[in-house]
Structures are given as structure tokens and as C-alpha cells.
Structure 1
Amino acid sequence: MKESLVHGLSGSLSAVIATLILHPLDTIRIRMQSTHSKTTLRLFLKELRTNGNLMSLYSGFISSLISTASSQGVYFLVYKAMQIILSRGKRQLTILDDLIVSLVASFVNILVNTPIWTVNTRLMKSEKEESISSCFSSIIKHEGFRGLFKGMSTSFILVLNPVIQFVTYEHMKRRFKQKKLHAGFCFLLGALTKFIATMITYPFLTLRTRVQLEDQKSLGFVEVLKDVLDHEGALALYNGLSTKVLQAVLNSAIVLASHEHLVKILCMICLTKKIRATAAK
């Protein structure tokens, strides 16, 4: 249990580091997904013309920080716990084990964090400052409790993203036999596996964003898909792709490289405390 908590805490801290660096890119991606196609450069220039700076791209920053820290913390905690359970009596986990581990971690993550993701998406879309509590209250007031869980069905489809990434990540780690995981290796491997997963699942991410941003009426996944195809065409499903690929690839690379390093540090701290406690007795 302690080992799982170490991985959960490391995941949260890694997410905080990545969010501090990459939040503006995620904000641009959401605004591009929610509107007709615009380039990343045009959105940057619009912010500079309108506000004289890029601070509005940090809309929903605190919410995003909470969202990513919670998401990565829950995911890595459950992921490690499942690895420990499945590894009992085995020398090495198989690809099927990796698949089960990633699926369970992803489903638990979605159930726990969908309300946080919905609030975060609304705040990042908005160009005006709004608190987390006021956005949360507004959703409850106008859309009911179910409004917090918009896009959850699409999120279950998006389970494919972490499954593809982490099954590939674990397989590649074993293939290269990196017993001592160097930060550079984890960074490159995290970037590569996230790129593959994002290219495959991006249209579903666009649809989830559209569903979460719909505050006037409750539209399902199929209805939103039909609306986009009828009025904007299939290419609209790829709005913001370049920005998302850049953000997701860098985010994953930073998170996984930081995570592997932080786990070592946290384990050393725990071991030091244990030794001191034993010596004190």
C-alpha cells in the first residue's frame, strides 16, 4: 500500500510540474476544439492584441492544477496497486497484465475525476476570470448534478489513450531492459508513446470537449458527433490537433520522466525514515 501511495504522490507532483509549464497550450487546444478551425499562432496573436499579454491563457490554471494532480495521482496509485496485485507469483508482467492494469486505473480515474475535468474545461474555455466554486455552483444550479458528469461516456472511449500509451510504455521498457531508468530515456519514451496514443484517439477528445462545454442542453456523444459532421465537417474533429500533440507529448514526457525520478527520491525518504525509526527503538 505504501508503495502505491508513493507512486500516487509522485504522479501528482509530476503533473504539477508539467501543468506549470504547459497550461497555455492546453487552454488554446480547448478554445480551438470548441470553435471553427483557427491556428495556434492566430490565437496567440489574438491574446496579445486583446490583452497585451498572454495571461488569459492561464484561465482556469488553479482548476487545471487540481485536475491534473488529482488525475495523475489517482491513475498512478491505482496503476501501481494493480501491478503489485498481478505480479504476485510472477517473474514478470505480460502485455495482457499491462492491459488490465491500465484499464482498471483508467476507469477508476474517470469515475473519480470527471466532475473536476468538466469544471476545468469550462474555466479554460472562458476568457474571463471565474472561481472554481462559482463554476461548480453554476453547473449544479443550471444543469443539475448530472451536468458535472458530461462527457463521461466519451471519457470511457478515451480509455484507449492511456491504455495504448502505458501498454506500449511498459513493453518498451522491458524490451530495452532499462533496469536503471534514466530521465532522458523516460522522457523520450513518454513522448513517443503519447504521440501514438494521441493521434489515434484525438477525435474522441474533441467530442468530449464539445459535450462538456454544452451548458444550454444535454447532448450525447452521438448527437454532438452528428452536429459537428453536419455543420463543420469531419476535419473539425481535428481542430487544435497540432497544439494538443505538442502539449500532450511534452506533458507526458515531463510527467513520466519526473515520476520515475520522484519515485526514487520518495522511496529513499521513506527508507531513511524507516531506518531512523528502527534505530530509535
Structure 2
Amino acid sequence: MSDALINGLAGAGGGIIAQLLTYPLQTVNTRQQTDRDPKKEKRKLGTVEHMCQVVKQEGWERLYGGLMPSLVGTAASQGVYYYFYQVFRNQAEAAALQLKKKGLGDGSVGMLSSLLVAALAGSANVLMTTPIWVVVTRMQTHRKVSKEQQILSMSPSSEGKALAAADPRPFGTFNAIQEVYDEAGVTGFWKGVIPTLIMVSNPSIQFMLYETMLTKLKKKRASKGSNSVTALEVFLLGALAKLGATVVTYPLLVVKSRLQAKQVTTGDKRHQYKGTVDAILKMIRYEGPYGFYKGMSTKIVQSVLAAAVLFMIKEELVKGALLSKRKKI
């Protein structure tokens, strides 16, 4: 088994476990991002309050809406990303060694090369897995109502109008796929691909920070006669790297979620987005800078925790696989 395949499988395994642990936070975050109420004076629910509201009004299962396609998407995304990351990384390392032979550099992959490797792997991942995440977003933002709430939805109040957009019927993966297709055809499954492609800078920044910190830590340990890094240290490095990347790229994530959520085709045109530029301009006009950071605190908690768990589990799986591989040899 090649190192690239080992990293791909380890990344998929770590991603699935991280997803299971943090999925309710992801669901709440997606709903916060797609909240298009421009009224800043309206009190916004905190993460825990929002989760309790979903449970009270729609049931526990709605916190896990879209979990199955999300797990498939996570496995596919992490597997594809880590596979291509390792392939491109190997090529970058080979190129660095060639330059060293020519008297250029020290043979290590530099920061810019690491950034490029992560960007290429991220682009391959986005193009191959975006349809899965469009379906997941639809399922996370689908609102289920009870019979009592159906009566309230007849009310002209703002709460009644919000509930009128909800659906009391079961909404599964097939329903989400059918909804996306009916709305925009095959191209609908790649909605938000432009901001998502731009967002490959998120894992690029994340991995650049992670690799840089990990390399420095290993060098520091090597000077003391040890080259080992503990699982807790990997956990903390992954958390720090993800925190930095998330703060920088969050506005693009909000735009992507708005485009992938169900589009309002009638009524308030402020909620109708024709594309990435249109969404950005309308958000600036009707919501201001605040609109681009809706739910960021929830996202930071969810993404940092997920990334830290993913890195820790991936590194342990890779270590175990490589150790097993050496024993067989």
C-alpha cells in the first residue's frame, strides 16, 4: 500500500469520527449562516440556545439532518484531499531534493510550496465532491414543523412566515437531490463552487500553518535527541492551524452556504441570489459586514474541534499503518 493511499484512508477515517462528534454544531452553524434576516437589532440565539430550539420545535433528529450523505462526503473529501495532498507533496519533496543537488535550498519543502500543494489538493477535492455538500446543505437547512406550528404558519407574523417555509413531510437524501435538480438542473449540484474553490485557501492556510508548526516542533525535539510528537500536541497544533484559517476565510463560507441552500424564487428579492457576485452585493447592501460573519463563533468551535480530532486520529492511523507495513517487510 502506497504512502498516498495510507494517508488518504487515514484522513477519511479521522474525518468520519470528527464529523460524528461535531455534526450538531455543523447543522446549527449552517442554519445561522443562511439566516437572511437583515435586522441587526433582533437578538440572535447562541449556539446552545439554537440547538435547544431545533430540538424543541423539530426534534433531535433534525440536528443530524443530512448525516449520512455528510459522512459519505466527509470520507470522500478527506480521502480525495489527503490522497492528492500526499501525491503532490511527494512531487514537491522530489523537486526540493533536485534543487538541493544543484546547490539551491536545503532539500526541504518551503512554505509557498506547501501552500501550492494544499491548494492543488483542495481544488481536486472541491470539483469532485461539491454535489455531495450541496445535498447536505439542503438537508441541514430543511425545517420540519409540527401540526401546531403548521397552524401558526398561517399567521401573518414574521414567525408565521418563517414557519410557512418549513415542511412537515420527511425530507431525505433523495428529496434533497430531487429539489436541487428541479430548481436548477444538473448544474445546481455545483452551486457555490466558485467561493468553494476560492476557499481552498482555508485548508491551504491550515496545512501550511500545521506543517510549519509541526516541522519546527520536530526540529526542536530532534535537537534534544527525540523526534516523537504526542497525540495531544498534534491535537493542539491542528486546532491552532484551523483557528487561523477559519477566521480569514469565513465570509466565503457564508456565501457558499447561501448559494447552496434552497433559493427563494418569489417574494423578497433580497433573498434571491443569481450567483456569487450577486450574493455578495446583496449581503453588503442589506446586511452589511455583519452578514458575512453570522455563526462564526459556532463555526470556530466546530471546525477547530473537528480539525484537531481529525489530525490526531489521522496521525495515529498513519503511524499504525506504517508500523504494520514495516513489520511485513
TM-score, normalised with respect to structure 2: 0.79
TM-aligned CA deviation for residue 229 of structure 1: 1.9
**Higher percent of residues as helix:** 1
The one-letter code of the counterpart of 2:136 is N
- The question of 1:143 aligning with 2:159 is answered no
Is 1:127 equivalent to 2:134 in the alignment? Answer: no
Distance 1:221 1:14 in 2: 32
Question: Which residue does 1:279 correspond to in 2?
Answer: none
**Cα offset, 1:47, TM superposition:** 2.4
Given that residues 160 and 201 in structure 1 are in contact (C-alpha distance below 8 angstroms), is that contact kept between their aligned partners in structure 2? yes
Q: Please report the RMSD computed on the Cα atoms of aligned residues, expressed in angstroms.
A: 1.8
SS in structure 1 at match of 2:140:
helix
Corresponding residue number in structure 1 for 2:53: 46
Q: Distance in 2 between matches of 1:133 and 1:266?
A: 37
Secondary structure at 2:143 match in 1: coil
Corresponding letter in the other structure for 1:190: G
- Whether 1:58 and 2:64 are equivalent positions in the alignment is yes
* CA-to-aligned-CA distance 1:225-275 (integer Å, 9 cap, x gap): 111222222202111111000000001000011110011112233444x44
Give per-residue Cα distances to partners, 1:213-233, cap 9 Å, x unaligned: 143466211111111222222
Amino acid in structure 1 at the alignment position of 2:229: L
Structure-1-length-normalised TM-score: 0.91
Structure 2 Cα separation of the partners of residues 38 and 204 of structure 1: 22
Cα deviation per residue 1:47-100 (whole Å; 9 max; x = unaligned)?
24324x533101111111111111111111111111111112623211122012
Larger Rg over CA atoms: 2
Correspondence list, 1:133-172, <5 A? 133-172=174-213
DSSP-derived class of the 1:137 partner: helix
Is it true that 1:265 corresponds to 2:313 in the alignment?
A: no
Contact 1:59–1:127 under 8 Å retained in 2: no
User: 1:114 and 1:48, CA in 2 relative to 1: closer, same or farther beyond 3 A?
Assistant: closer
Indicate the percent of aligned positions where both proteins have the same amino acid: 33
Give the partner amino acid of 1:71: S
Are the counterparts in 2 of residues 181 and 260 from structure 1 also a CA contact under 8 Å? no
Distance 1:218 1:240, change over 3 A: closer
Q: What is the number of equivalent residue pairs in this alignment? A: 273
Counterpart among 283, 289, 292 of residue 234 in structure 1: 289
Amino acid in the other structure paired with 1:134: N
Q: By how many angstroms is 1:10 displaced?
A: 0.4
Match of 2:163 in 1: none
Deviating runs (4+, > 4 A) in structure 1?
A: none
Give the letter aligned to residue 180 of structure 1: S
> What SS does the corresponding residue of 1:181 show, helix, strand or coil?
coil
1:190 is aligned to 2:238: yes
Q: Which residue, out of 115, 130, 134, partners 1:114?
A: 130
Match for 1:101 among 110, 117, 122? Answer: 117
- What residue in structure 1 maps to residue 160 of structure 2? none
Give the 3-state SS of the residue equivalent to 1:102 in structure 2.
Answer: helix
Task: For structure 2, list consecutive stretches of 5 or more residues without a partner in the other structure.
Answer: 38-43, 98-106, 145-169, 222-226, 266-271
